[in-house]
A and B are shown apart, each in its own frame.
Chain A
Amino acid sequence: MISIAIEKKLKAYDGQQILRVDRQFAAGSITKIYGPSGAGKTTFLKIIAGLIAPEKGTIINDGVTWFNAESKVNMPVQKRNTGFVFQQYALFPNMTVKQQLEYATADESWIKRLLLLGKLDTLQEHKPEYLSGGQQQRLAILRALATKPKLLLMDEPFSALDMKMKTELTAELKIVLKELGATTLIVSHNPQELDGLTSEVMMFE
């Protein structure tokens, strides 16, 4: 279980607003996070991953303190073992599909399985610039899964996928996430999206 109680000032067009979250996520749960643009959904995910530090609060994962503002504890992002799917994919332009996964893990059989899961097994020697938007997005999801994370943070991970691909991928993803026992947080702008995948909902205002 991960417990998050944080505060972070956000820069907004009309001044400043404060992102306040106090919530626990059960181990293995899949939570959909939705809310308007600029509400701090992406910032929230980056705070959990350790890419941004909040001003106040604590983050405790399975009894281990990842962040504590008062006692100045801030576990480095590399040690948190969180998978992160970036909204703009953040694929490495210099690496092929397979190299992006090999950069994350040395487990060849896991790489093979991921490539099949994302239907990218025939494109493994391609660099991102030669992939479609949907293929790039699938690769970003596979790369985030490559380290077998216990916590998966996904920022609009299915926005470029067509309905058929989204349905197939989410069904497969559900099985993999269960196998990994990963707690998953998925940011989505659409409240109706992902109803079959997620069990919890969190709303940002």
Chain B
Amino acid sequence: MDLTPIWLTLKLAGITTLLLLIIGLPFAWWLSRGRSFFKIMIEAIITMPLVLPPSVLGFYLLLAFSPQHGVGKWLQEVFNVQFVFSFQGLVLASVIYSVPFMVGPVKSALQQLPPALAEASYTLGKTEWQTFRYVLLPNIKPSLLTATVLTFAHTLGEFGVVLMIGGNIPGITRVASIAVYDSVERQDYAMANNYSLVLFSITFVLVIAVFVFNKYQAKSPLG
């Protein structure tokens, strides 16, 4: 069994989760503070990947980053970066596709904290960043863990969006979910079963771990 698709999948999920922790946490914090029409629109847009068929998202990304025109052409000419049929393209698509899994739980958890916690920190002379880092984030640990694990697990299971933008290039864009599809296409059901079993096991262990952890933190990931 060629393990490259498995490693590629884990690498993609790891990088996507890390990027979403860096981008998604401040973003969730910004969304959690106050309501404006602009914020509602932004929230609706980042929620779209939850309901949109992955192939539709992948199709638009393929169009947007095609090196023949628009943004893709500009990126190719100015920075010599190509997102279509490349690993960085998979990362970009995964980040967009998984953003609601990171931002949603974290935003909800931040909104449930009493406003007086942040206010108390401000009266002690602390900046908004210090308050976020030392008061707010440590008090939403269960939701943060849930968001991190769900983002990772969700990226493991991506298929439509990564197939559209990345295709099926061995060692570059051929992740495990595509390897399953490819094996079935070639009627190599034993290989499809191997890849499926590995994906199933990793995802199952991750989800179980979240439920067990949150049982002791009195917060269900679905609650």
Contacts and interface: CB of A to CB of B under 8 A. Distances in A.
Interface of A: 46, 49, 51, 77-79, 81-84, 86, 88, 90-94, 103-104, 143-144, 146-147
Interface string B120-158: 111111110000001100110000000000000000000
Interface residues of B, number: 16
B130 to A, nearest CB: 9
Given A92-B139, A94-B135, A103-B134, A86 B124 contact: no
Contact of A94 (B119, B126, B127, B138): B138
B116 interface: yes
Given A78-B127, A93-B139, A86 B120 contact: yes
A90 B126 contact: no
Contacts of B116: 86, 88, 90
A146 B134 CA distance: 17
A84 B139 contact: no
Given A88-B116, A90-B114, A92-B117, A77 B122 contact: yes
B125 A81 contact: yes
B124 A147 contact: yes
B125 to A, nearest CB: 5
A77 B123 CA distance: 6
Pairs A-B, 7 closest by C-beta atoms: A90-B116, A94-B138, A90-B120, A84-B123, A104-B124, A77-B122, A86-B116
16 contacts: A49-B123, A51-B119, A77-B122, A81-B125, A83-B123, A86-B116, A86-B119, A88-B114, A88-B116, A90-B116, A91-B120, A92-B121, A93-B139, A103-B121, A104-B124, A104-B125
Contacts of A86: 116, 119-120
Interface of B: 114, 116-117, 119-127, 134-135, 138-139
Contacts of B122: 51, 77-78
Contacts of B134: 103
Given A90-B114, A90-B116, A90-B117, A82 B139 contact: no
A122 B10 CA distance: 48
B218 to A, nearest CB: 12
A186 B134 CA distance: 29
Contacts of A84: 119-120, 123
A86 B139 CA distance: 19
Given A86-B116, A103-B134, A146 B139 contact: no
Given A78-B125, A78-B126, A78-B127, A92 B114 contact: no
B115 to A, nearest CB: 9
A84 B120 CA distance: 7
A204 to B, nearest CB: 21
Nearest to B118: A90
A54 B52 CA distance: 44
